[in-house]
């Protein structure tokens, strides 16, 4: 009979170094498939990653390459060589300034500026956050996506967490899945929001405009809590708390409420009503007025709860100052 997981010996390592992991299979786990064994013995790694390593020939039983469905009976010697997939290590390091507000051996907390693309892709193979991370911490070449576990749009500013080891990355991804990572954003939206909202409607790819996301029955669950910070004539500063992390979630949900983000030309529906004193100020803002200002998570190694915040970037701060000044002109 299999022992409860908490009673199993701890065969994990404190980091994701290239050293081989070697251990004997406990007899109480005999009869299970290899991938099931590894999930129990190395819980800090995801099942899909462990299966990928087996298929790459990075796992051996008694010195011979193993297969995912191979059964193990107890006392066999397992050898695992943890490493990132080669296809995920093609980006080149670049000396890009990073605003790092916290760093230790496991994580980085970065305040991403407006205009910085997070991950290389079509049309953006250089000059991304990932390139800068590889320069700042070369060891990140061994971690998929250089440790990036969530993203911000190019024109969204604010806080991001980056894992510096495979173990930390897996732990953070699991926190994301468990919704224990808390993220709050400040957004300036069109119109005067009448009350607080919890928006719980699914988001998926737009059926005809593939660059956009949309509220759709076939989409994935998406929940955003919207709280009013301050109302202005023709616009409102809101605080958005994410329970889920869908692409463009806040932008889509605020558009769904008929309060699209100021500056967000992708999700604005028609001409927005605006008092004359505010019109030029709001229309000319060049990007979506969205800033990730708070981030809370459990440290992937110590388990300690950590909270971070960062002030609004200069462009949003100046926008609010101009709105405040113009408010006096509204009769």
Residues forming the active site: 153
Distance, C-alpha 195 to centroid of its chain: 28
The DSSP result for 182-210, as a single string, is EEEEEEEEES---S-EEEE--EEE-SS-T
**The token pair that represents 170 in the structure block:** 């897996």
> 3-state DSSP call for residue 41?
helix
Q: How far is CA 107 from CA 89, 143, 254, 274, in A?
A: 19, 12, 31, 44
Q: Under a CB-based contact definition with an 8 Å cutoff, are residues 175 and 290 in contact?
A: no
Q: Under a CB-based contact definition with an 8 Å cutoff, are residues 239 and 174 in contact?
A: no
Query: How many CA atoms lie within 13 Å of 92's alpha carbon, on the beta-carbon side?
Result: 6
For the stretch 81-84, contacts whose Cβ atoms lie closer than 8 Å and that sit 24 or more positions apart, written own/partner, are 81/18, 81/20, 81/21, 81/53, 82/16, 82/18, 82/21, 82/45, 82/53, 82/58, 82/166, 83/18, 83/53, 83/58, 83/142, 84/141, 84/142, 84/143, 84/144, 84/166
What Rg, from alpha-carbon coordinates, does the chain have?
Answer: 24
d(CA 23, CA 129): 37
DSSP 8-state class, residue 121: B
């Amino acid at each position: 009979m299999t022992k409860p997981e908490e009673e199993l010996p701890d065969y994990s390592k404190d980091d994701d170094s290239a050293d081989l992991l070697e251990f004997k299979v406990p007899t109480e786990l005999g009869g299970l498939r290899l991938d099931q064994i590894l999930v129990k013995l190395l819980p800090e790694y995801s099942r899909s990653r462990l299966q990928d390593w087996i298929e790459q020939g990075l796992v051996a039983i008694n010195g011979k390459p193993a297969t995912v469905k191979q059964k193990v009976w107890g006392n066999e010697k397992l050898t695992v060589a943890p490493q990132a997939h080669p296809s995920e290590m093609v980006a080149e390091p670049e000396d890009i300034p990073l605003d790092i507000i916290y760093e230790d051996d496991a994580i980085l907390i970065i305040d991403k500026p407006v205009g910085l693309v997070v991950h290389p892709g079509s049309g953006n193979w250089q000059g991304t956050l990932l390139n800068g991370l590889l320069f700042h911490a070369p060891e990140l070449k061994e971690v998929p996506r250089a440790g990036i576990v969530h993203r911000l749009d190019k024109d969204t500013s604010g806080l991001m967490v980056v894992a510096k080891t495979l173990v930390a990355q897996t732990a953070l991804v699991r926190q994301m899945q468990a919704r224990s990572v808390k993220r709050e954003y400040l957004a300036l939206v069109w119109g005067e929001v009448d009350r607080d909202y919890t928006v719980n409607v699914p988001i998926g790819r737009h059926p005809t405009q593939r660059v956009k996301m949309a509220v759709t029955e076939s989409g994935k669950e998406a929940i955003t809590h919207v709280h009013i910070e301050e109302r202005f004539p023709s616009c409102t500063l809101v605080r958005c708390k994410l329970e889920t992390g869908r692409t463009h979630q806040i932008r889509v949900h605020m558009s769904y409420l008929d309060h699209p983000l100021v500056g967000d030309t992708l999700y604005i529906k028609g001409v927005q009503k605006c008092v004359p004193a505010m019109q030029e100020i709001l229309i000319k803002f060049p990007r979506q007025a969205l800033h990730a200002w708070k981030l809370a998570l459990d440290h992937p190694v110590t388990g300690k709860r950590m909270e971070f915040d960062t002030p609004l970037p200069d462009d949003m701060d100046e926008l609010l100052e101009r709105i405040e000044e113009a408010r006096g002109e509204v009769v």
